[in-house]
Amino acid sequence: MGLCLNIYPFGLLPFRILGDNGYWISNSGMKNSPYQNIRLSLINSLLMLVLFLNTSCIAANSDLVSQEEDRINKINRVIMCPVCPGESIDQSQNEIASNMRAIVKDLVRQGKTEDEIKDYFIGKYGPVILLEPSTEGISLYVWVVPPIALSFAMIIVALAVALMRKRQKNSSLNMNHDLADEVISDEEKEKYFAVINRISNE
Amino acid sequence: MVELGQIALILSFMMATYSTVVGFAGGMLNGRDLAASARWGFYSICPLLMLATASLIYAFVTNDFSVKYVAENSNIAMPKIYAWVAFYSGNAGSLLYIAVAFSLMAGITIRILNSKLPYTSPYALGVMSMVLLFFLAVILFLANPLDRHQIALEDGQGMNPLLIHFGMFIHPPFQMLGLISVALPFSIAIGALLAGRGGRDEWVDQGRLWGMVSWLLLTTGLLLGAWWAYTILGWGGYWAWDPVENSALMPWLAMTAFVHSIMVQKRRGMFRMWNMVLIIVAFAMAQMGMFINRGGPVPSVHSFAESTMGWVFLAVMAVTLFISLVIFIFRFDTLKSRSGLDSIISRESAFLAQNMLFLLIAFITLWGTIFPILSEAVDETTMTIGQPFFNKVNGPLMLLLVFLMGIGPVLPWRKAGWGSINRMLRLPLIVSCLVFLLSLISGIREYWVLISFAICSVSLVTVFQELIRGSRSRHSHGESWGRAFFSLIGANRPRYGGYVVHLSIIMLALGITASSFYDVQKDVVMRPGDSEVLGKYTFKYLEVSEKSYPDRVEEIAKFEVWSGNKNIGYMYPYRAFYPEFQIAATKGAIHSTILEDFYLVPSEFKEDGQAVFRVLVNPLVSWMWAAGPVLILGTLIALSPKNRTQRKRLQLPNVNVDQNPLRISE
């Protein structure tokens, strides 16, 4: 991958910006150390990788399909196939799903909006037909509970952290107390190290 | 032959009862002989269940349609090799599969546990036997795959054709094994609690080992399932937030939290209570998964093993939770942490935040999965909660997790000073800003994609930074680069194995992001001879041919495909129709490159020679599949024990008693 560096205009960029260890480059004489080169080529490869990804995504995105088709696909993905539970009509291979896809296509060509098309299917099958719950009535709770759960989780974490901090403060006080009683005298230490030295010499 | 299997089943049921009772008795009375007896009783279950399995498979192979389960799940036309798939394709057979697989795994676990945790092991054995006992009871009394019909049938109904795929040989076994293997760390934890040694961290090593084994199985099962959906279900996607997918994801989330937070207990003696909660939640989630899968009330594509016994699993889940809670409260005093939290900015608190996020995602997934039941019960409103909801709510939370995955491992234990944070995170943050800007410059406007790329690069750079930092310091002590790298990984396998797993998660995240925001899909109507273009791909529909098999008719389309000017050969997507089931299964043809997949799938062949095809270009999907082996490799590194020579190096030199320096010094 290092060889590609020269081709890529951005590949040279980080040479100037980043030095070893993530510090800004300095003339500390470390410039020529081998690991620095490794680090730099790593960052280069990484950036190139990202650029590759970007170009691939964009290549894929640049109006390969008409906007109309995009809209049709988008609608197909939120309407459920009535006979194959859990699958969208976009996903399902069932005949009914392919008929429904044709209906969506027709309606979009007639200039109907997404909401109108959804309403059309709701009128025919009821609200079950939508894969995404609406934000009205009881289905509002589907949407409300996750943020509540999130805040709840954050409160729990905060409480737990506070509790554990408090305990640590208390226990470290106690610990100091305990340790004070068990301080080893210098004489004992010397004896101990002498033994260790002897073992390691043997 | 089937009768032999029946006898084996009954015997194994009796043995499981025996080892449950005697196992607990051995633990409580501290009786070594009792415990040993229970253990050997348990070992005998596995061969018995294997015998039962063999007799069922024999019935499949010999087309013994007098056996009800065989008649329901196979027919004469089925290729014999699929006897293995048919074995677990229905409700009763999959229960037997779970029982036999669990008895084998639990046997191995017990064997290892016995020498490592002598006090915990009898209790853990008791819990495992109880789990097995439950499955055997369900098999014997509610869904016995070996039961015979009153009359022998000429031919069976056959297996669901969607299951006839190579992936079916491995995805369901791994998935079921993963779900049931959550019971292993659960049993060890509960065993340790019962033995009153939960607080002493004795069980942590074994809990972590089996937790990771279970995690690996669950992950492999999920990835294989995604791969199966992508290649066979023919809609070009791999994950649909289907209730059953969710129910496999939930225990995975809880287990992921567990295998991380158990490290905190191992290293710091903290989170003792929390780990117990996590493993209990994980097991409850696994049972919930079985409930939803086995004729739970939520409609799903996966209703292969449908039956009315889902409620049995739900009831047992409630009982398990209740008993675990009682034990938990009873042993509450043993679960106090050894130390508290030194600083809010530390690896411990990163772990805590990560754990909470995992549980939150699991909870939201559960909420979205069961909400339709609740709404129907409360309001009589039926509704569907599908992909859009989960993507919107869980997507951002998962990105947050990937971010934590980047910064967590480089935060030091106990207390992180600003100096070390600066040193560790400066480079990753700078690179991620650069990536963000470059992505913006190169035209990406979806803000979730921008954020995801930036976050992934933080995690990616921290991992590489750690690897380079470590090998560099070894290199500076005179080891060659290659040697330095491998000895670095070998020296702290849990840590560096974890990094490798993190790499695979980044690959997954990139693949998921790119393919969910930048996939292109087009439906085209073609006649033989027509050419169409999608992006840089030109594809020409040459002809359609029909092939008849005993069980199906395949209509195979032949395409010639060019990528740019380069001919990339022929592609053969096909549609198979199974007249007995009135089901059609499509098989997409995929041309996979490192950057994108070109995916062709027939939707419909019309009478007049016209055909409808769906064409997709899915960016970076191959990265997701490549992540699987990397992930397995990383987990194996993290699990591999230190080798002997290394262990020896850590020991003090052997000294004779006579020369014992301590004695001399006296």
Per-residue pLDDT tens digits for B598-631: 999 888 888 888 888 888 888 888 999 999 999 9
Position A55 scores a pLDDT of 57
Q: How far apart are the C-alpha atoms of B45 and B62, rounded to whole Å?
A: 26
pLDDT tens figures, A69-105: 888 888 888 888 877 766 788 877 777 888 888 888 8
A47, A54, A140: best to mutate for the B interface, most B CBs within 10 A: A54
Of these ranges, A123-132, A159-168, B187-196, B266-275, the one predicted with the greatest mean pLDDT is: B187-196
CATH code of the region A67-129 = 1.10.8.640
Residues within 8 A of A (CB atoms), B 228-247 only: 233-235, 237, 240, 242-243
Judged by CB atoms closer than 8 Å, whether chains meet at A145 and B439 is answered as no
State how far the Cα of B555 lies from the Cα of A109, in Å rounded to an integer.
31
Q: Do A165 and B341 touch (CB under 8 A)?
A: yes
Q: Which of A46-50, B463-467, B506-510 bottoms out in mean pLDDT, i.e. has the lowest?
A: A46-50
Tens digits of per-residue pLDDT, B232-272? 777 778 888 888 888 899 999 999 999 999 988 888 888 88
Measuring CA to CA, which residue among A71, A132, A136 is closest to residue B391?
A132
pLDDT tops 90 at residue B219: yes
Which of B301, B327, B475 lies closest to B24 in space, CA to CA?
Answer: B327
Chain B residues lying within 8 Å of A146, measured CB to CB: 364, 367, 393
pLDDT for res B304 = 54
pLDDT over threshold 70, residue A64: no
Rounded CA-CA distance B558/B555 in Å is 10
3-state secondary structure B601-648: EEEEECCCCCEEEEEEEEECHHHHHHHHHHHHHHHHHHHCCCCHHHHH
Q: How many whole angstroms separate alpha carbon B99 and alpha carbon A179?
A: 53
Average pLDDT value for residue range B31-35 = 87
Q: Do B384 and A92 touch (CB under 8 A)?
A: no
Number of residues written out for chain B: 666
How do residues B369-428 score in pLDDT, each as one tens digit? Answer: 888 888 877 877 777 788 888 988 999 999 999 999 988 888 878 777 788 888 888 888
Contact across the interface for B431 and A69, Cβ inside 8 Å = no
- Mean pLDDT calculated for residue range A156-178: 73
- Sole residue written with tokens 């754990």: B355
Q: CA torsion B138→B140→B146→B150, rounded to 10°?
A: -110
Q: What is the ipTM of this complex?
A: 0.80
Max alpha carbon distance in chain B (Å)?
Answer: 102
pLDDT attached to residue A171: 67
**Nearest partner of A164 among B444, B274, B623, B657, judged by Cα:** B274
Residues 502-561 of chain B with CB under 8 A from chain A are 510, 514, 517-523, 534-536
Domain residue extents for chain A:
2-61, 67-129, 140-201
Nearest to A22 by CA among B407, B434, B428: B428
pLDDT of B521 > 50? The answer is yes
- Of B292, B301, B298, B324, the C-alpha closest to B130 is B324
Q: Tell me the longest C-alpha to C-alpha distance in chain A.
A: 96
Question: Is the model more confident about A147 or about B242?
Answer: A147
Place of tokens 């062949």: B605
Q: Please name the helix (run of DSSP H) or strand (run of DSSP E) that holds residue B570, with its range, or none.
A: strand B566-571
* CA-closest candidate to residue B397, choices B353, B360, B371: B360
Residues 6+ apart with CB under 8 A from B168: B85, B89, B228
Q: How far apart are CA B601 and CA A41, in angstroms?
A: 41
* pLDDT value, residue B582: 77
Residue B74 has pLDDT above 90, yes or no: no
Query: What is the least distance, in Å, from the CA of A131 to any CA of chain B?
Result: 5
Cα separation, B611 vs B589, in Å, equals 16
- φ, ψ (nearest 5 deg) of residue B457: -70, -30
pLDDT of B533 strictly over 80: yes
Q: Which two tokens stand for residue B147?
A: 């039961």
The whole-chain average pLDDT of chain B stands at 85
- Under a CB-based contact definition with an 8 Å cutoff, are residues B490 and B482 in contact? no
Q: How many other CB atoms are there within 10 angstroms of residue B563's CB atom?
A: 16
B643 — pLDDT class (breaks 50, 70, 90): low
Two structure tokens written together for B5:
């299997």
> Minimal CA–CA distance to B522: which of B609, B620, B624, B601?
B601
CB A131 to CB B385 under 8 A? yes
What is the share, in percent, of chain B residues with pLDDT greater than 90?
35
pLDDT of the residue at A57: 55
Global confidence as pTM: 0.85
* Selected residues 605-644 of chain B with any CB under 8 Å from a CB in chain A: 612, 617, 619-620
**In terms of pLDDT, which residue wins out, B433 or A49?**
B433
Collapsed DSSP state (helix, strand, coil) of residue B585: strand
Q: How far is B69 from B53, CA to CA, in rounded Å?
A: 13
CA-angle at A195, arms to A190 and A199, nearest 5°: 145
By the CB < 8 Å criterion, does B448 face chain A?
A: no
pLDDT tens, residue by residue, B315-327:
889 999 999 999 8
What are the angstrom distances between the C-alpha of B150 and each of A73, B55, B59, B357? 51, 19, 16, 54
- Enter the DSSP assignment of B666: -
Structure confidence by residue, pLDDT tens digits, B150-180: 777 778 887 877 777 777 888 889 999 999 9
Number of continuous H segments (helices) and E segments (strands) in chain B: 21, 10
Residue written as token pair 């952290």: A161
DSSP one-letter code for B67 = B
Give B148-166 as a 3 state SS string.
Answer: ECCCCCCCCCCCCHHHCCH
